[in-house]
């Protein structure tokens, strides 16, 4: 029997404790958490105890972990501004990298990552978890029958706490409200809406018009993002995201094509995760009987994402989310910011 992949964690905060840990605990035959790195001692203790990681393999400096720990892969779950440095250091250490989104905060940083990954020949992927929910996976099986896409929409609205700021006592809130840490609505929240609707459209974005602004919150990053994207196939997509609007009828994406339409609910575990429209039948809810109960309950898609990713690493096959997809998503975000400043459509760069 093949030995489990030895996993090191760079960052052990809330997303690891609440979400990633579920996946690691479901994959004990495939992956074993053997080392940790976090600047917060409480995080090291909590996650280290959860996975029975020896004290000597719990580090406050991730570079020491890369140098001394016996690991095959690292996951990076830290503030956005740290991703470029940490991915590059891990690639230089010769270990495979699974990074939380986004891959970086700018395309210049992303280019540095791509160069380091290619130079060192290490596998690298970014977590695009919402395309691994049961509803989205079922939707992807419907795309061929629906034909060429022409219009898509994606919406993710919500209200941040009244005291949301870079001075918030909760670290997860504080860094998301900080430009220096790589926070902001479009890169933290709307990021998911962008890759989700682009997955349904099946055509890369070529031009972006947008307004990415700070309207209501007292923060130095955007709290609203409105995008109008033109795809290479001529189709149009709108993406709407906000931290200053109640989340009524929020957390979904849809695609309209020559033979029908699809609407996928995500962010929440809902009964009507997938609906399909055809002229003959109108809107119908599609069941997810092809997915077991655990998959249907995996509302964020993280368990399936990590399952497919670790299986691909173990088999040395193509990773389910290639780096180019993450680069394209970041390029859309950077184009949206530029479109806001220059008040014009911006053409997307290729990696």
Segment 22-62, tens digit of pLDDT: 999 999 999 999 999 999 999 999 999 999 999 999 999 99
What is the distance between the alpha carbons of residues 57 and 2, in angstroms, rounded to a whole number?
23
At residue 147, does pLDDT exceed 80? yes
Q: Residue 294: which pLDDT band, with cuts at 50, 70 and 90?
A: confident
Q: pTM of whole model > 0.85?
A: yes
* Owner of token pair 């979904």: 252
pLDDT value at residue 270 = 66
> Which residue ranges does the chain devote to CATH 3.40.50.720?
5-126
Helix axes 191-201, 323-342, angle to 10 degrees: 110
pLDDT value at residue 297 = 76
Mean pLDDT of all residues in the chain?
94
At residue 315, does pLDDT exceed 80? yes
Instruction: Please give the structure tokens belonging to residue 340.
Output: 């806001």
At residue 113, does pLDDT exceed 90? yes
For residue 167, give the 3-state DSSP assignment. coil
pLDDT value at residue 351 = 59
* Owner of token pair 């020559």: 258
At residue 322, does pLDDT exceed 60? yes
Nearest to 305 by CA among 82, 144, 109, 101: 101
What is the distance between the alpha carbons of residues 50 and 110, in angstroms, rounded to a whole number?
33
Q: Are strands 252-257 and 73-76 parallel, antiparallel or unpaired?
A: unpaired
CB 336 within 8 A of CB 345: no
At residue 153, does pLDDT exceed 90? yes
pLDDT value at residue 289 = 75
CATH superfamily for 5-126 is NAD(P)-binding Rossmann-like Domain (3.40.50.720)
pLDDT value at residue 269 = 61
Q: Residue 157: which pLDDT band, with cuts at 50, 70 and 90?
A: very high
For the domain made up of 130-347, the CATH class stated in words is: alpha beta
At residue 258, does pLDDT exceed 90? yes
> Which residue ranges does the chain devote to CATH 3.30.360.10?
130-347
Percent of the chain at pLDDT exceeding 70? 97
3-state DSSP: the chain helix, strand, coil percent, rounded to 5?
Answer: 40, 25, 35
pLDDT value at residue 288 = 84
CB 247 within 8 A of CB 185: no
Identify the burial level of 303 via C-beta atoms within 10 angstroms of its C-beta, where 0-12 means exposed, 13-18 middle and 19 or more buried. buried
pLDDT value at residue 286 = 92
């Amino acid at each position: 029997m093949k030995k489990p992949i030895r996993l090191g964690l760079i960052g052990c905060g809330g997303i690891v404790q609440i979400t990633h840990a579920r996946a690691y605990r479901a994959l004990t035959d495939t992956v074993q958490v053997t080392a940790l790195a976090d600047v917060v001692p409480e995080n090291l203790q909590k996650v280290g105890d959860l996975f029975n990681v020896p004290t000597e393999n719990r580090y406050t400096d991730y570079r020491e972990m890369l140098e001394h720990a016996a690991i095959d892969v690292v996951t990076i779950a830290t503030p956005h501004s740290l991703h470029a440095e940490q991915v590059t250091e891990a690639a230089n250490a010769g270990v495979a990298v699974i990074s939380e989104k986004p891959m970086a905060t700018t395309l210049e940083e992303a280019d540095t990552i791509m160069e380091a990954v290619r130079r060192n020949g290490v596998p690298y992927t970014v977590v695009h978890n919402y395309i691994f929910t049961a509803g989205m996976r079922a939707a992807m099986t419907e795309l061929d029958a629906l034909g060429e896409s022409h219009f898509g929409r994606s919406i993710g609205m919500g209200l941040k706490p009244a005291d949301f700021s870079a001075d918030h006592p909760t670290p997860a809130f504080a860094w998301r409200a900080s430009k220096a840490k790589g926070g902001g609505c479009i890169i933290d929240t709307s990021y998911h809406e962008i890759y989700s609707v682009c997955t349904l459209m099946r055509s890369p974005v070529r031009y972006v018009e947008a307004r990415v602004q700070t309207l209501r919150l007292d923060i130095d990053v955007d709290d609203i993002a409105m995008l109008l994207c033109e795809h290479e196939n001529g189709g149009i997509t709108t993406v709407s995201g906000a931290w200053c609007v109640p989340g009524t009828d929020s957390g979904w994406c849809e695609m309209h094509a020559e033979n029908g339409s699809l609407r996928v609910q995500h962010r929440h575990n809902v009964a009507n995760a997938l609906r399909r429209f055809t002229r003959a039948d109108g809107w119908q809810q599609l069941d997810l009987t092809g997915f077991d109960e655990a998959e249907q309950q995996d509302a964020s898609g993280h368990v399936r994402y990590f399952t497919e990713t670790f299986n691909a690493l173990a088999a040395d096959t193509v990773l389910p989310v290639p780096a180019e997809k993450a680069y394209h998503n970041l390029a859309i975000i950077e184009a949206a910011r530029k479109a806001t400043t220059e008040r014009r459509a911006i053409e997307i760069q290729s990696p």
